[in-house]
Amino acid sequence: MRYPKNLQKGGIIGFVAPSFGCATEPYKSAFLNAQKKFKEMGYQCQLGPNCYASEGIGISNTPEKCGKELTEGYVSGENDCLISCGGGEMMCEILEHVDFEAIRKAPAKWYLGYSDNTNFTYLLTTLCDTASIYGPCAGDFGMEPWHPSVKDSFGVLTGEVRTVRNYDGWERIDGGLKTEEDPLQPYHITEPFMLKKYPDQDADFSGRLLGGCLDCLVNLKGTEFDKTVEFVEKYKEDGIIWFLEACELNVFSIRRAVWQLDHAGWFKYTKGFLIGRPMLFDQPMMGLDQYRAVTDILGKYQVPIIMDADLGHLHPAMPIITGSLGRVQVRDNSISICMECR
């Protein structure tokens, strides 16, 4: 596994928009404030050509232009890390225009993003054997003040943070205060943090951290970009800790996606599962809830399944170094993840 160099003081933070850009409010103002904050902290900013673009369908620009920006941004020697401008819908369409061979040969650098960015964070690790960071996109760094999860994410970039822990509470999808008129609002935390454990007991397990947004992962399965089986075979001695979170999937879609990845052989050598709060939280259908949607399929592995973790679209989220060697410790209603870059 290749690990990037940590971002140094005075370094150059690159921004790219392989999914949505920051063309509209409140994202534009939040992005501008993020740049301002980074510069005040002593860093430089480099913007890719699509950061404020909105010409694409479900992404910032055409697939060709997005793939070109991402490839050139990653292989460039003119920035020290990359942060994605945002999530989106159709980042998968840029993949055939990304030069993964050039990326594989270039010096490793941190790439930070989540949601639709799974299309790169996951493939960087499984195709290029290079660690990435599953965490917030650029606009979140514009909030005032930074939530501890945002501080943790920047700390992962700089190397100061290698252990993350759960936060005190979370924001409902309809509870955020960020608006076009007030774009710098921090997360509006109203719900208490509450883990669900299967089986219902404390846990301590280790393995390579791998995963992302389930909506994207199930879409990648079976394509020419899917080398998951080969990856888990390569790291079978370490085993795999899967972290998964769902965006637009209802409980039946979650169950179908988990079933599909299971039958594709992805979960061989698994040591445990970390399941984030789904964006469609507490929306059971026909007797199926978000917990059985997962445990009915994955329970057969007889490994810990930790659910409603701080991962995904219901903020805050712990940043995860995809590809790192993780140790997960669950005690009562708390979780910590130690991530070793080796």
Query: What is the pLDDT at residue 222?
Result: 97
Residue 263 and residue 279 share a domain:
yes
- Report H helices in 189-291: 214-220, 228-234, 251-263
Residue 145 and residue 54 share a domain:
yes
Residue 207 and residue 122 share a domain:
no
Q: What is the CATH number of the domain that holds 21?
A: 3.40.50.10740
Residue 196 and residue 87 share a domain:
no
Residue 105 and residue 54 share a domain:
yes
Residue 333 and residue 262 share a domain:
yes
Range of the domain at 314: 169-340
User: Does 124 fall in a domain?
Assistant: yes
Q: Quote the CA–CA distance of 135 and 154 in Å, as a whole number.
A: 9
In 3-state terms the chain splits into helix, strand, coil percentages (rounded to 5) of 30, 25, 45
User: Does 328 fall in a domain?
Assistant: yes
Q: Which of 162, 185, 209 is the last residue of a domain?
A: 162
- Residue 174, pLDDT > 90, answer no
Residue 196 and residue 124 share a domain:
no
79: which 2 tokens? 């920035």
User: Does 6 fall in a domain?
Assistant: no
Residue 261 and residue 182 share a domain:
yes
Q: What are the tens digits of pLDDT across the range 262-303?
A: 999 999 999 999 999 999 999 999 999 999 999 999 999 999
Q: Quote the CA–CA distance of 66 and 47 in Å, as a whole number.
A: 13
If you average pLDDT over every residue of the chain, what do you get?
97
**Would you say the pTM of this structure is higher than 0.95?**
yes
> Do 327 and 337 form a contact (C-beta atoms < 8 A)?
yes
Q: Which of 162, 191, 219 is the last residue of a domain?
A: 162
Q: Quote the CA–CA distance of 166 and 151 in Å, as a whole number.
A: 13
Residue 196 and residue 147 share a domain:
no
Q: What is the CATH number of the domain that holds 249?
A: 3.50.30.60
Of 241, 311, 251, nearest to 280 by C-alpha is 251
Q: What are the tens digits of pLDDT across the range 184-209?
A: 999 999 999 999 999 999 999 999 99
Residue 146 and residue 197 share a domain:
no
Residue 200 and residue 118 share a domain:
no
Q: Quote the CA–CA distance of 147 and 341 in Å, as a whole number.
A: 25
Q: Which of 105, 130, 162 is the last residue of a domain?
A: 162
Interval 237-250 mean pLDDT: 98
* DSSP per-residue codes, 283-330: --BTTB-TTHHHHHHHGGG-S-EEEEES-SSSS----EEETSEEEEEE
User: Does 58 fall in a domain?
Assistant: yes
